[in-house]
Structure 1
Amino acid sequence: MTLIAEDLLLILLDDDTGTLSHSDKIQPLLGGALLVELALAERIEVAEKTSIWSSAKVAVVEHEPLEDTLFDPLLDQALATIAEKPRTAQDLVNRLGKGAKDLLLERLAERGLVRPVEDKVWGLFPRTTWPAADRTYEDSVRALLQGALVQGLTPTPRTSGLVALLTAVGHAHKVVDRGDVPAKVVKARAKEISEGAWAAKAVKDAVAAAQAAVTAAVVASTTGAAVASS
């Protein structure tokens, strides 16, 4: 079984060119995906604020390796990081997402879902792209998104978490075949799913915190880039 972070990468990768949409935002996105995964596994929670001056912190519900059915080294490492000390979701999405992209892409390649292609930009700068090798699994993920966002089907918690992450970067309406459905309708459906009652409150609070943290990180990086170029 793939992680939500891996599903997210597959969705954001162009199948033909192997380049990544929102590459400048991928670190907090993947960190957010790890938080969402742990929230759905009910291994983390958002602790109540201790004062009006403090920010809500993410805490581990029970710090031990995940059960065999859920165990993944990357998730267990994320749990260990969260358990070190109280941190906000905004801190954690960048902290957990650091270095995750390359590791996850290599895992997807090992599973035969993408393949690494080495080339050079302008014949000078080496780069690796990751075009699709087998689209079967990705197509199944897209079908679930299509059902939820366009056909109005009830999504699973896992699909809802993926929608929340895509919504954080304004991309949910771009990953489905809208047909005659206006983009604003799909965006509204994505927002409805993100905010819907599809999980227990503790889980939903943690997913909402991860989504808000990704959005904040994206805004901060965009603002920083704008200032640097002015």
Structure 2
Amino acid sequence: MTDDSIHSQRTRTLITEDLLLVLFQPDSGTIAGENTLFYVLAAGALTDLAQHGHATIADAGFRGTLIHAAGEPPEDELLRPMWDYISQKPRGVQTVLAASGPTLREPVLDRLVERGHLCRQKRRVLGLFPSTSLVDGGSGRRSELVAEMRAVLVDAAVPSEHIAALTALVSASGSLPVLHREIPWSGTTATRAKNLEQGDWAAGTAATAVTRTMIAVVANSLIAGAVVANR
């Protein structure tokens, strides 16, 4: 991989990265929905693959919906392991999320720290035990994303593909109400979020159609995964 390609992938922000950033709660230093976070991040990565032409969906009849690898392997090291996994053979969505999700949290956090969106802060608990906490990095990225999501959900603004996918995944994760201080929660907000989950936003390019379809599929899988995890 050349230095130019590494720089390119580093400057392009993934949905997966922004997903974790939005779920980060600055007041507490925690991440919303930790118990199902691996599913959520994997859904983000699968959406990133679809958005950039590296994954497609096919109806396999009684086998359900299967994920296929497409195109060339992604250069981004966060996405490559998932692409390698589905390139071996077509796989079910839940299988892909469960296999790929557990390894994503730390490298995505590392990327957010590297970009300056989050910081790791060392401290001592009770003055004795070393601990590391997360704090906002002051880049303003999280505030910008939340503001764009609020405009879509509260003011009915037309979302970009990136914001539509991001909002749909946050909603499907079940964590949107956690953001109620920043994005007021209401029946209208919930309805608009559910519409995005179903891939219901303005059609644009062919890539947008692929992303909308992937969002609808992974949103259903996220909801099912959350039900199982919270039993």
Question: Which of 59, 67, 70 lines up with 1:58 in the alignment?
Answer: 67
Change (3 A) 1:113 1:24: same
Please report how far the alpha carbon of residue 202 of structure 1 lies from its aligned counterpart in structure 2 after TM superposition: 3.8
Give me the whole-angstrom Cα distance separating, in 1, the residues matched to 2:34 and 2:131. 13
Q: Which runs of no fewer than 5 residues in structure 1 stay unpaired?
A: 224-230
Please report how far the alpha carbon of residue 108 of structure 1 lies from its aligned counterpart in structure 2 after TM superposition: 1.1
Question: Which of 217, 221, 231 lines up with 1:213 in the alignment?
Answer: 221
Change (3 A) 1:40 1:185: same
Give me the whole-angstrom Cα distance separating, in 2, the residues matched to 1:193 and 1:209. 12
| Aligned twin of 1:20 | 31
2:120 is aligned with 1:116: yes
Q: Deviations over 1:189-212 (max 9, x none)?
A: 111222204455443222211111
2:151 is aligned with 1:147: yes
**Residue identity in the other structure for 2:138:** D
Identity %, equivalent residues: 27
Please report how far the alpha carbon of residue 31 of structure 1 lies from its aligned counterpart in structure 2 after TM superposition: 0.3
**Residue identity in the other structure for 2:109:** L
The DSSP-based 3-state class of the residue aligned with 1:45 is strand
Higher RCO, Cα 8 Å, sep 6+: 1
Please report how far the alpha carbon of residue 76 of structure 1 lies from its aligned counterpart in structure 2 after TM superposition: 2.2
Give me the whole-angstrom Cα distance separating, in 1, the residues matched to 2:57 and 2:28. 39
Give me the whole-angstrom Cα distance separating, in 2, the residues matched to 1:178 and 1:202. 28
Give me the whole-angstrom Cα distance separating, in 1, the residues matched to 2:27 and 2:123. 14
Give me the whole-angstrom Cα distance separating, in 2, the residues matched to 1:44 and 1:111. 26
| Aligned twin of 2:101 | 97
| Aligned twin of 2:132 | 128
Aligned length, in residue pairs: 214
Give me the whole-angstrom Cα distance separating, in 1, the residues matched to 2:68 and 2:77. 19
Please report how far the alpha carbon of residue 11 of structure 1 lies from its aligned counterpart in structure 2 after TM superposition: 0.9
| Structure with the largest fraction of strand | 2
TM-score (normalizing by structure 1)? 0.83
**Residue identity in the other structure for 2:35:** D
Q: Which runs of no fewer than 5 residues in structure 2 stay unpaired?
A: 1-11
